A and B are shown apart, each in its own frame.
Chain A
Amino acid sequence: MWDYSEKVKEHFFDPKNAGAVENANAIGEVGSISCGDALRLTLRVNEDGDVIEDAGFQTFGCGSAIASSSALTEIIKGMNVEEALNVSNQDIADFLDGLPPEKMHCSVMGREALQAAVANYRGEEWEDDHEEGALICKCFAIDAVMIEDTIRANNLSTVEEVTNYTKAGGGCSSCHEGIEEILETVMAERGETFNPSAKAPAPQTEAATATSGMTNLQRIRRIEMVLESMRPTLKADGGDVELVEVDGNTIYVNMMGACSGCQLASATLGGIQQRLMEELGEFIKVVPASQMPQAMKAGG
Chain B
Amino acid sequence: MSKGIYLDNNATTMVDPKIVEAMLPFFSDQFGNPSSMHSFGNKVGKAIKQARKNIQTLIGAEHDSEIIFTSCGTESDSTAILSALRAQPDRKEIITTVVEHPAVLTLCENLEKDGYTIHRLKVDGKGRLDLNEYKAHLSDQVAIVSVMWANNETGTLFPVEKMAEMAYDAGVLFHSDAVQAVGKIPMDLKSTKIDMLSISGHKLHAPKGIGVLYLRRGTRFRPLLRGGHQERGRRAGTENTASIVALGEAAKMALEYMEHENTYVKGLRDKLEEGILAAVPNSFVTGNPEDRLPNTANIAFEYIEGEAILMLLNKEGIAASSGSACTSGSLEPSHVMRAMDIPYTAAHGSVRFSLSRYNTESEIDAVIEAVPKIMEKLRKLSPYWGENGPVEEPEKAFQPTYA
Please indicate the chain B residues that have their CB under 8 angstroms from the CB of A60 in the complex. 303-305, 345, 348, 382-384
Does A122 have its Cβ within 8 Å of any Cβ on chain B?
no
In the complex, are the beta carbons of B308 and A66 less than 8 A apart? yes
Which residue among A29, A57, A62, A108 has the maximum number of chain B CB atoms within 10 Å of its CB?
Answer: A62
Interface residues, chain B, CB within 8 Å of chain A?
303-308, 311-312, 315, 324-327, 329-333, 344-345, 347-348, 380-384, 398-403
In the complex, are the beta carbons of B308 and A12 less than 8 A apart? yes
In the complex, are the beta carbons of A39 and B383 less than 8 A apart? yes
In the complex, are the beta carbons of A62 and B324 less than 8 A apart? yes
CB distance from A293 to the nearest CB of B (A): 39
In the complex, are the beta carbons of B403 and A128 less than 8 A apart? yes
Contact with B along A28-52 (1 / 0, CB 8 A): 0111111111111000000000000
In the complex, are the beta carbons of B398 and A38 less than 8 A apart? yes
Option from B306, B325, B330, B401 in Cβ contact (under 8 Å) with A30: B401
Does A135 have its Cβ within 8 Å of any Cβ on chain B?
yes
Does A59 have its Cβ within 8 Å of any Cβ on chain B?
yes
Q: A13-B315, A60-B304, A62-B307 are in contact. Are A18 and B400 (CB under 8 A)?
A: no
Q: A62-B307, A65-B305 are in contact. Are A30 and B382 (CB under 8 A)?
A: no
Number of contact residues on A: which range applies? Answer: 35 or more
In the complex, are the beta carbons of A66 and B383 less than 8 A apart? no
| Nearest opposing residue in chain A for B329, CB measure | A102
Please indicate the chain A residues that have their CB under 8 angstroms from the CB of B311 in the complex. 9, 12-13, 63
Whole-angstrom distance between the alpha carbons of A65 and B381 in the complex?
11
Does A131 have its Cβ within 8 Å of any Cβ on chain B?
yes
Please indicate the chain A residues that have their CB under 8 angstroms from the CB of B330 in the complex. 134
| Nearest opposing residue in chain B for A106, CB measure | B326
Please indicate the chain B residues that have their CB under 8 angstroms from the CB of A37 in the complex. 305, 326
In the complex, are the beta carbons of B403 and A36 less than 8 A apart? no
In the complex, are the beta carbons of B402 and A33 less than 8 A apart? yes
CB distance from A63 to the nearest CB of B (A): 5
Please indicate the chain A residues that have their CB under 8 angstroms from the CB of B347 in the complex. 36
| Nearest opposing residue in chain B for A59, CB measure | B381
Whole-angstrom distance between the alpha carbons of A15 and B381 in the complex?
9
CB distance from B320 to the nearest CB of A (A): 13
| Nearest opposing residue in chain B for A112, CB measure | B403
Please indicate the chain B residues that have their CB under 8 angstroms from the CB of A133 in the complex. 331
